[in-house]
C-alpha cells in the first residue's frame, strides 16, 4: 500500500495537544503503527513545549528501523529499510540524514525540541518521526489516538499527478543554456491559480488560455487576439478577468513607436481595456541618454502580479543606443490601477526599481505593494531586492555579490555571474530567497565548479540579509548542478523548493528534486527525488491552499503537461 507524507495533520496534532512549556506524561495517548498498537512499558509519550515525544524503541522498531545507541557520545543512529541513516545527539535539535535514495549527500533536519532521555528511554519529537521518514500521521481527538503508517519509502512521486493539454502545433522549449547566466527566456507556457482555485494555463505561442477547475477538469479554452508580436506574461484577478502584456521590438531611434500594451480581458476573452506604452521611457533611474525599450524581454524574462487593486509588470529589455554608442540592458516595469488602468509608477506616485544587466526578474505580491527582485551582473552585480508600496518609501537590499572576473581578452567586461535566481517567499518576519551558485571563488570559465542551492533570509525592513545557507553540497561539476530553482509558500512557516539536477557533460537534466524548509531556512522535509516531474525554466510555482497542491505547467512538443504536487 503506497502512502504519502502528510504533515498538515501532524501540525494539527501538535497544536491540538495541550500547549505549554512544561513536560508531562500523556498516559492516555495511544500510538498505532501500521495497524499495531505500541506497548510502552518503561516510558509513556510525553509533551514538551506543545510537542509530543515518543520512545524511540517502540515506534522505530515497529517501523522496521535498526536502532544503534552509542553511549560514549550520546548518539542514536537509525537505519531505515532503504538504508537511509538518521543520526542525532541527545540534547540537540538537529538530525543528520545520510541517504543515497533521497540525494547522495548529508542533510540536516531540525526538530522542534531536542531528543531526551527519560527514565532510561530515548524520546524524540513525533513531528521529527513523520518529517524524516515520510510517514502518514493521523490524530483522532475523541479516541486520543495517533496513527502512523509507513511503507519504507521516501519518494513523494506518488503524490504527483499530471494532465496533458494538446496544442495546435509545437510549443517553444522552456529550456536555456543554464551555465551562461544571461540566456534567460520568457517561458512559452505560464500558469496562474486564483484565490478561488481556478487554474489558468496560457500557451504564449498561440495566445490560448486553458481554464481548469481545482480538480483539473477543463472548463474552457480562450483564444485571444494577438495585439503585438510577443507575449511576456499574463495573470488573472479575483473577478476572473485576464491581463496580458504584449510587446515587440522597435527600430533604433523609433522613440514614438508604441511597441508595448497591457490588455485587460473579461473571463470569456472579450477585450475590456488597454494601456499602451511608447518605446521611449521618461522615468528612468539611469543617467540621461540611457533609456527606452527597444527590445523587450531581451536577455531576461517578464512577470505580472496583482496586489489589491494594483497590477505590476516587470521585464528585461535592451535600451536605445546610449551616449557611449552602446545598447545597454536593464530591467524595466510599471504599475497600474487594474480597475482604472491609471499608471501609478514613474512621475505619478511610485518609483520603480531597475537593475543593470538584469538577467532575470521576479515579483512577489505583498500587502500594499510588491517586492521586485533582479539578477544583475552590473549596477549592482548581485541579487537586488526592492519593495514598492502605495504608501511609504521604497526599501532596497542587495545580497550575494557575484564573484568578479575577466573575459578571454583580459578586459573587465565580464558577464558570467555563475548563479541563477530562484525566487522569493514571504515569511512571518520578512522573506526568504532561493538561488543557485558556485561556492568557490575560482574563475576559469562560465562553469568553474558545481552549482549548489542556497537560501537567504531577509528582514521585513530590508535592513539585513543573511549569509547564504547552502542546502546542497554537489561536488561533481560535470554531473551535478542545481538549475531552475523555485520556491513557493505552502502555508504557515513552510516553503516548497523545487530544482533540477543538470549534467553539463550530457547537456541534460538528470533528475528533479524537492525540499521543504521553514521560515528560518531550516530543512524540515529533506531533499528527495521527484520522479516523473519536469520544471518550467522561468515560470512561477502556484499554490492552491484549498487542495494543498502546488501547480505548474511545462511545454513538451505538441503537448502541455500540467503538474499537481501535494508536498505535505
pLDDT tens per residue, range 473-489: 999 999 999 999 999 99
Q: Residue 165 and residue 219: Cα distance in Å, rounded?
A: 13
Instruction: Tell me the mean pLDDT in the region 495-510.
Output: 90
What pLDDT band is residue 310 in, cutting at 50, 70 and 90? Answer: very high
Q: Are 126 and 133 in contact (CB under 8 A)?
A: no
pLDDT of 405 above 80: no
Helix (H) or strand (E) holding 138: strand 136-140
Q: What is the pLDDT of residue 6?
A: 31
- Enumerate the CATH 3.30.457.10 domain ranges in the chain, comma separated: 7-154
The Cβ of residue 523 has, within 10 Å, a number of other Cβ atoms equal to 21
Map 196-262 to HEC letters.
Answer: CCCEEEEECCCCEEEEECCCCCEEEEEECCCCCCEEEEEEECCCCCEEEEEECCCCCCCCCCCCEEE
CA torsion, ordered 162, 165, 171, 173, to nearest 10 deg: 0
Residue 128 pLDDT level (bands cut at 50, 70, 90): low
DSSP H helical ranges for 195-334 = none
How high does pLDDT run on average in the chain? 84
Mark out the alpha helices in 51-105 (DSSP H runs): 56-62
Give which of 457, 307, 435 is closest to 368, Cα–Cα: 307
3-state percent helix, strand, coil for the chain, nearest multiple of 5:
5, 45, 50
pLDDT at 14 over 60: no
What does DSSP say about strands 145-149 and 30-33: parallel, antiparallel, or unpaired? parallel
Q: What is 7-154's CATH topology?
A: Copper Amine Oxidase; Chain A, domain 1 (3.30.457)
In the chain, CATH 2.130.10.10 sits at: 160-405+421-565
| Residue 29, C-alpha cell as written in the block | 495517548
Residue 208: pLDDT band with limits 50, 70, 90: very high
* Of 524 and 362, more confident: 362
Which one is predicted more confidently, 460 or 32? Answer: 460
pTM score: 0.75
Whether the CB-CB separation of 137 and 31 falls below 8 Å is answered with no
User: Where does 160-405+421-565 sit in CATH, by number?
Assistant: 2.130.10.10
Distance CA 181, CA 387 (A): 24
| Angle, helices 7-16/126-133, rounded to nearest 10 degrees | 180
Residue 105 has pLDDT above 50, yes or no: no
CA proximity to 309, closest of 348, 286, 339: 339
Ranking 87-91, 119-123, 136-140, 277-281 by mean pLDDT, the lowest is 136-140
Distance CA 225, CA 208 (A): 9
**Higher local confidence (pLDDT), 161 or 328:** 328
What gap in Å lies between CA 121 and CA 54, rounded to an integer? 9
Amino acid at each position: 500500500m503506497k502512502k504519502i507524507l502528510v504533515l498538515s495533520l501532524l501540525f494539527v496534532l501538535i497544536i491540538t495537544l495541550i500547549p505549554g512549556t512544561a513536560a508531562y506524561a500523556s498516559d492516555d495517548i495511544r500510538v498505532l503503527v501500521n495497524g499495531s498498537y505500541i506497548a510502552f512499558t518503561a516510558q509513556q509519550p510525553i509533551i514538551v513545549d506543545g510537542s509530543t515525544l515518543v520512545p524511540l524503541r517502540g515506534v522505530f522498531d515497529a517501523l522496521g528501523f535498526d536502532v544503534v545507541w552509542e553511549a560514549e557520545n550520546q548518539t542514536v543512529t537509525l537505519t531505515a529499510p532503504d538504508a537511509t541513516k538518521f543520526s542525532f545527539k541527545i540534547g540537540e535539535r538537529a538530525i543528520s540524514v545520510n541517504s543515497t535514495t533521497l540525494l547522495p549527500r548529508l542533510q540536516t533536519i531540525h526538530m522542534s525540541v531536542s531528543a531526551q532521555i527519560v527514565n532510561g528511554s530515548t524520546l524524540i519529537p513525533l513531528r521529527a518521526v513523520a518529517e524524516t521518514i515520510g510517514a502518514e500521521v493521523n490524530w483522532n481527538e475523541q479516541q486520543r489516538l495517533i496513527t502512523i503508517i509507513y511503507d519504507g519509502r521516501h519518494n513523494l512521486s506518488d503524490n504527483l499527478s499530471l494532465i496533458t493539454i494538446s496544442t495546435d502545433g509545437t510549443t517553444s522549449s522552456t529550456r536555456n543554456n543554464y551555465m551562461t547566466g544571461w540566456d534567460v527566456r520568457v517561458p512559452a507556457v505560464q500558469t496562474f491559480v486564483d484565490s478561488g482555485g481556478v487554474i489558468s494555463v496560457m500557451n504564449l505561442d498561440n495566445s490560448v488560455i486553458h481554464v481548469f477547475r481545482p480538480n483539473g477538469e477543463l472548463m474552457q479554452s480562450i483564444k485571444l487576439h494577438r495585439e503585438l508580436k510577443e507575449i511576456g506574461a499574463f495573470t488573472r484577478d479575483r473577478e476572473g478577468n485576464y491581463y496580458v502584456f504584449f510587446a515587440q521590438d522597435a527600430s533604433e531611434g523609433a522613440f514614438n513607436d508604441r511597441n508595448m500594451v497591457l490588455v485587460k480581458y473579461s473571463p470569456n476573452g472579450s477585450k475590456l481595456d488597454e494601456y499602451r506604452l511608447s518605446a521611449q521611457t521618461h522615468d528612468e533611474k539611469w543617467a540621461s541618454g540611457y533609456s527606452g525599450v527597444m527590445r523587450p524581454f531581451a536577455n531576461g524574462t517578464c512577470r505580472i502580479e496583482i496586489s489589491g487593486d494594483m497590477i505590476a509588470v516587470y521585464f528585461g529589455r535592451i535600451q536605445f543606443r546610449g551616449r557611449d554608442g552602446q545598447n545597454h540592458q536593464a530591467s524595466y516595469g510599471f504599475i497600474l490601477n487594474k480597475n482604472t488602468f491609471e499608471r501609478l509608477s514613474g512621475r505619478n506616485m511610485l518609483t520603480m526599481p531597475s537593475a543593470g544587466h538584469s538577467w532575470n526578474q521576479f515579483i512577489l505580491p505583498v500587502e500594499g505593494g510588491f517586492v521586485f527582485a533582479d539578477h544583475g551582473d552590473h549596477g549592482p552585480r548581485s541579487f537586488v531586492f526592492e519593495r514598492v508600496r502605495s504608501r511609504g518609501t521604497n526599501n532596497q537590499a542587495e545580497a550575494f555579490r557575484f564573484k568578479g572576473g575577466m573575459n578571454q581578452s583580459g578586459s573587465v567586461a565580464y558577464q558570467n555571474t555563475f548563479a541563477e535566481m530562484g525566487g522569493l517567499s514571504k515569511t512571518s518576519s520578512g522573506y526568504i530567497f532561493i538561488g543557485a551558485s558556485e561556492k568557490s571563488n575560482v574563475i576559469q570559465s562560465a562553469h568553474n565548479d558545481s552549482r549548489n542551492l542556497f537560501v537567504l533570509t531577509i528582514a521585513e525592513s530590508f535592513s539585513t540579509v543573511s549569509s547564504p545557507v547552502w542546502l546542497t553540497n554537489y561536488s561533481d561539476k560535470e554531473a551535478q548542478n542545481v538549475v531552475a530553482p523555485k520556491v513557493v509558500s505552502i502555508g504557515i512557516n513552510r516553503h516548497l523548493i523545487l530544482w533540477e539536477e543538470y549534467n553539463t557533460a550530457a547537456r541534460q537534466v538528470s533528475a528533479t528534486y524537492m525540499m521543504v524548509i521553514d521560515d528560518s531556512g531550516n530543512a524540515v522535509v529533506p531533499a528527495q527525488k521527484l520522479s516523473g516531474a519536469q520544471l518550467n525554466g522561468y515560470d512561477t510555482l502556484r499554490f492552491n491552499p484549498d487542495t494543498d497542491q502546488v501547480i505548474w505547467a511545462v511545454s513538451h512538443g505538441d503537448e502541455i503537461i500540467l503538474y499537481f504536487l501535494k508536498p505535505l
